[in-house]
Amino acid sequence: MTHTRNDISELLSAHGLSPRRAFGQNFVVDANTVRRIARLAGVGPGDFVLEIGAGLGSLTLALAETGATIVAIEIDNGVVEVLRSVVKDLPNVEVIHGDALLLDWAPLQARSQHWHVVANLPYNVATPLVADLLDGAPAVDHMLVMVQKEVAERFVAPVRTPAYGAVSVKIAYWATSSIVGDVPASVFFPKPNVASALVDIKRRTSPAVPDVDPTQFFTLVRTGFGQRRKMLRRVLAGIIAPETFTRADVSPEARAEELDVHAWGRLCIAQHDKLAGK
């Protein structure tokens, strides 16, 4: 069984709780939606699933039905106790009380080299969470996350589109991504003012640009997008010399949004080679 709208209302009322804006809490109250997410995730017995922001367990219950091993993370002191009571009879679900942005992923990665993240991510932390997992949790090789639709569009944006930005490049560096479904605001309590979307992110076997230092690469990309409307020769003045643009086959008159992940890689490699005197 998964939670209905009445179940969510009763659980909140019985424990004197209400959704907290500070934690971006919008609980899913539609069984079809959570089962759809579990189905799209493609997980089952033998898989390890990390659910971030598990809330009252709507998605947790649907994921548990697949037979996968579920580790559900919840930050809210009151909600986590309700979550534990909801899943107490499910042997394949473990609840961790903590902040996913501060969590040490090493113990989880020691349990399996292949993790799925399947989650209704709180809107206010979705972008840094996905970025941190890609950067620092290599055992997470697949994510299916529900995020604000505008955020989803930034995650998957192709070059030369308004949504394309530094996070688009980061995801393209580590993974392939696509929007696999829309989620209406009506399936949440409380109902948000925006629609959501499901993003499927699959980690590459090796980065799109394997010959760069990720820290240097992402620093260069963030700097370039810091003033995205200006030409790169102005934004990167003092960092990238004119001859470095030539060596990288990148126009100094281009703007950040015109460079795909491979062009950013060439620029980073050319910069490194120049500093190394090559």
Contact criterion met (CB below 8 Å) for 185 and 158: no
> 140-148 and 196-203: which strand pairing?
antiparallel
| Pair (263, 167) in one structural domain | no
25-35 pLDDT, tens digit per residue, is 889 999 999 99
| Pair (114, 31) in one structural domain | yes
What value does the mean pLDDT of the chain take? 94
* CATH number, residue 231: 1.10.8.100
| Pair (86, 198) in one structural domain | yes
Out of 100-109, 157-166, 214-223, least confident range: 100-109
Confidence of residue 237 (pLDDT cuts 50, 70, 90): very high
Range of the domain at 156: 5-203
Sign, CA torsion 71/35/153/261: positive
Residue 208 within any structural domain of the chain: no
Q: Print burial letters for 191-219: b (CB count within 10 Å at least 16), e (below 16).
A: eeeeebbbbbbebeeebbbeebeeeebbe
* CATH number, residue 146: 3.40.50.150
Residue 61 within any structural domain of the chain: yes
As a whole number, mean pLDDT of residues 30-55 equals 97
- Predicted pLDDT at 19: 81
- Predicted pLDDT at 277: 75
| Pair (118, 186) in one structural domain | yes
| Pair (176, 269) in one structural domain | no
As a whole number, mean pLDDT of residues 135-141 equals 96
Contact criterion met (CB below 8 Å) for 87 and 65: no
Phi-psi region of 160 (alpha: psi -120 to 50; beta: other; left: phi over 0): left
| Pair (256, 186) in one structural domain | no
* pLDDT exceeds 90 at position 190: no
In percent, how much of the chain has pLDDT > 90? 83
Beta carbons within 8 Å of 235's beta carbon, 6+ residues apart: 223, 224, 226, 227, 256
| Pair (182, 80) in one structural domain | yes
- Predicted pLDDT at 31: 93
As a whole number, mean pLDDT of residues 66-83 equals 96
How far apart are alpha carbons 65 and 2 in whole angstroms? 9
> 69-74 and 48-52: which strand pairing?
parallel
* pLDDT exceeds 90 at position 22: no
